Amino acid sequence: MAHLRESTDKALKLLRTLPRVQIGNLRPNPNSKQNDKRGRAQHGGDKHGAGNKGSGQRQNFMRLGYETGNQPFYLRFPYEPYYKGHHMRREYPPISMLQLQVLIDTNRIDISQPIDIATLCNSGLMSLKPAELQYGFQLTDDGLDNFKAKINIEVQHASEAVIAAVERNGGVIRTAYYDPRSLHILSNPKKWFEKGLPIPQRMLPPQDAVEYYTDAKNRGYLANPEEISKERLVLAQKYGYELPRIEDDANYKMLTAAKDARQLFHGLEPGWLINLVDKTIVKLKAT
């Protein structure tokens, strides 16, 4: 035991003389910091980690899962049914309720107007790529407990909890389908209006999306409005909150504003020509 005590004493003695752990003698973990400067020539300026040839050098990165001609891993096993038709599936990029609340709190979104894809894209923080099969936004339930805004929002997909969170605050939520051309227009309306073309009609949803958008539970834009108001009550009872009466609301007109199934922009009908410079609407006179 004596030798042990001796060694502990030695260790303690050593520890006393060693420098303390403090901010002055700490350094970042090795390789945890990346140098943001790109060395040239002899200062590490060879290939910069991009390799000698191929897609690494050209920085044209392959699509996810692609294995340069091999049968990709995610397609290798023919009995994985959830990958069926994956290249044609509709994608709905997520927006969390927290993000939406932040957008509202930082005045990126005006809640005195109905919110739709164009509003979200015009905030400058969201973007949509219809060419990559993105079919609009889905509102996810992250941060739904802290969601306090009273809004009229139109998204492309929303879960039950999200619908409940919006309606609990006296807001209105609707899910609506937009075809890729409409999405292209809505993702950057200003650019599209500069083309000088009349607003086209919105297309109806494809067969496999009809069920979702005609269901009152999903607040689909093709559902029966009476059923929707019934489902609002049902959801309020299920989640245990009192449904605020939007009929008595001062913003009743704004809150219940909804687009037609063929309409792209609030207040603008298909077939109208909008000029942003003159601020005029040109309509084709029916003969």
Partner 1 sequence: MNIHKLGISTGSAIGRARYFSSVAKPELPASFVKDDVEYVPERDKSGLRQQHKNVLHETLPYNEAHSWIHLTEKYQRNMYGRYGSKSNVNPQICFGTLAERTKAQQRESITQPETLPELLEKLRIRKAAKQAAINEREESIQKKLEKLDQWKAELNAKVEKRKADAAAAIQRKERLIEEVRRHFGFKVDVRDERFKEMLEQKEKEDKRKQKEAKRKVKEEKMMAKLVQQTS
Where on the chain is the footprint of partner 1 (CB under 8 A)?
193-198, 201, 203-205, 207, 210-211, 214, 222, 261, 273, 275-278, 280, 282, 284
* Cα–Cα distance list, 106 to 6, 29, 110 (Å): 64, 36, 10
Decide whether 64 or 284 has the Cβ nearer to partner 1. Answer: 284
> Could you tell me how far CA 55 lies from the centroid of its own chain?
29
Residue 97 CB, nearest approach to partner 1 (Å): 31
Nearest to 241 by CA among 159, 137, 170, 149: 170
Strands of the 157-158 sheet, one edge to the other: 94-96, 138-140, 157-158
Decide whether 171 or 189 has the Cβ nearer to partner 1. Answer: 189
CA distance 130 to 128: 6
Decide whether 18 or 284 has the Cβ nearer to partner 1. Answer: 284
Decide whether 227 or 249 has the Cβ nearer to partner 1. Answer: 227
CA distance 244 to 241: 9
Residue 57 CB, nearest approach to partner 1 (Å): 37
Residue 189 CB, nearest approach to partner 1 (Å): 12
- Local structure of 64: helix, strand or coil: coil
- Give Cβ neighbours of residue 149 (< 8 Å, ≥ 6 apart): 100, 101, 104, 111, 169, 171
Decide whether 150 or 217 has the Cβ nearer to partner 1. Answer: 217
Residue 231 CB, nearest approach to partner 1 (Å): 18
In terms of C-beta distances under 8 Å and separation of at least 24 residues, what long-range contacts does 228-232 make, across chains too?
232/167
Residue 191 CB, nearest approach to partner 1 (Å): 10
CA distance 271 to 269: 6
Decide whether 22 or 207 has the Cβ nearer to partner 1. Answer: 207
Residue 206 CB, nearest approach to partner 1 (Å): 9
CB crowding 141-163: b at 16 or more within 10 Å, else e? beebeebebbbbbbbbbbeeebb
The residue with tokens 């980690």 is 49
Decide whether 150 or 181 has the Cβ nearer to partner 1. Answer: 181
Residue 251 CB, nearest approach to partner 1 (Å): 30
Q: Do the beta carbons of residue 212 and residue 220 sit within 8 Å?
A: yes
Nearest to 269 by CA among 199, 222, 216: 199
- Local structure of 52: helix, strand or coil: coil
Decide whether 46 or 211 has the Cβ nearer to partner 1. Answer: 211
Residue 81 CB, nearest approach to partner 1 (Å): 16
